[in-house]
Amino acid sequence: MKSPTLRLGALPPIQVSPGTLVTVLVLAVILYPGLGGSGASATTGALLALGIAVFMIVSVLAHEASHALSAHAFGARVDHIALTLWGGHTQYRGEALGTVASVVISLSGPLANGVLAALTTGLGALSLPGTPADVLWTYCSFLNIALALFNLLPGLPMDGGRALEALLGGVLGDVLLGTRVTAWIGRAIAVAVVAVPLWRIVGARGTGSLGLLTLLWALLIAGMLWQGASRALQAATLQHRVETLDAAALARPMHLVGPQQVLAELGGGTDLDAVLVLDRTAARPGTLGRAYRIHPAAAAAVPAAHRDRTPVSAVAGSVGEIGLLDASLRGNALISVMLSHPLPAYLVRESDERARGIIMSADVNGLLRGR
């Protein structure tokens, strides 16, 4: 089901997942028993629980809007804000934002919840003690404080983890190490999220339906946190592999021949795996032509008497079009060029126009997957 999209002023598009409604209902169910016991009627308690749950979603939106506005202020391109079953997230892209910008963007969300907590505390102070308004603002203040503190925990994917990740990367000079440290802290927090309610249940020697619902919700949140931390670890591993890529080192030495060259001209001792047939007449803009690899078995089956008139193209299979890469390309720059013009193979050329060898895209993909 496609999430409906809202537009609020200068904010980026806000995608509201159907899971947001589930969040409101679950939070209202968890809050209702405590509100019903405060002397209010069942209807008043239910309305208070629902109102607090809705305000919690508003608080999440304020949190994400703060991320979006601060990211935009630092020159990042903000794609959208998403409200989901687990709260929300802000999708933005920025090139080399820097440590300070990353920390400010990360902490701006919890700061927004701190401001809301102060505001609702003030409104509660203006309300008569024990009235529904007093209860509403007191709960909203507490939940915003909890939201701010939870997001400030120093592990990914929380905001505090992203801030610590940026700080460690800047101080240590190793962004990937900062990611790994904060991702493992995030995994530890995920375990704690389940361990705390479980410890309370064991200590109480059992629990009611509300305790079980809280534990179930904790399990779901912990699963989300664990997955977020795991994705960060996988991204760090992938980035490390990207940084080790070197076009010059990856290039396989290859002997380029034309499709009309005959087998006899290759010589009996030629390593056919090191021969690439290049048809330059099939070149399109951005390519050198179409490449073919000789099948050794097919070449060996050609009788000696026919090898001087059998073109290599007759015993070769298509690899696909071939592009051109500079031998100086490394890491992200190499991947960016390959992604901008994806082809199955690339000729690596030195600055003096000499061909260094061939890079097969399949080989690069295998390296990035750890194969």
Average pLDDT for residues 85-107, to the nearest whole number?
Answer: 90
For 4, the token pair is 């409906």
At residue 196, does pLDDT exceed 80? Answer: yes
On average, the pLDDT of the chain sits at: 92
Average pLDDT for residues 156-185, to the nearest whole number?
Answer: 95
Average pLDDT for residues 83-108, to the nearest whole number?
Answer: 91
At residue 98, does pLDDT exceed 80? Answer: yes
Q: In sequence order, which residues have a C-beta less than 8 Å from that of residue 86 and are 6 or more positions away? A: 19, 23, 220, 221, 224
- Residues in the chain, overall count: 371
Average pLDDT for residues 198-204, to the nearest whole number?
Answer: 81
Rg (Cα) of the chain, in Å, rounded?
30
Predicted local distance difference test score (pLDDT) of residue 207? 63
| Residue 130 Ramachandran class (φ > 0 left, ψ -120 to 50 alpha, else beta) | left
- pLDDT grade, residue 94 (50/70/90)? confident
Residue 251 per-residue DSSP state: P
Which tops the pLDDT comparison, 3 or 266?
266
Predicted local distance difference test score (pLDDT) of residue 58? 97
Q: How many percent of the chain have pLDDT more than 90?
A: 77
- pLDDT grade, residue 283 (50/70/90)? confident
Predicted local distance difference test score (pLDDT) of residue 200? 83
Average pLDDT for residues 3-31, to the nearest whole number?
Answer: 91
DSSP 82-129: EEETTEEEEEEE-SS--HHHHHHHHHHHHHHHHHHHHHHHHHHHHSPT
Predicted local distance difference test score (pLDDT) of residue 219? 92
Q: What is the reported pTM? A: 0.81
Which own/partner contact pairs does 25-28 have at CB distance under 8 Å and 24+ positions apart? 25/53, 26/213, 26/217, 27/52, 27/53, 27/56, 28/52, 28/53
What single-letter amino acid sits at 73?
A: A
At residue 208, does pLDDT exceed 70? Answer: no
- Helices 99-126, 159-172: axis angle to 10 degrees equals 150
Predicted local distance difference test score (pLDDT) of residue 37? 54
Which of the residues are catalytic? 64
What single-letter amino acid sits at 15?
A: Q
Q: Which residues of 332-344 are buried (b: 16+ CB within 10 A; e: fewer)?
A: eebbebbeeeebe
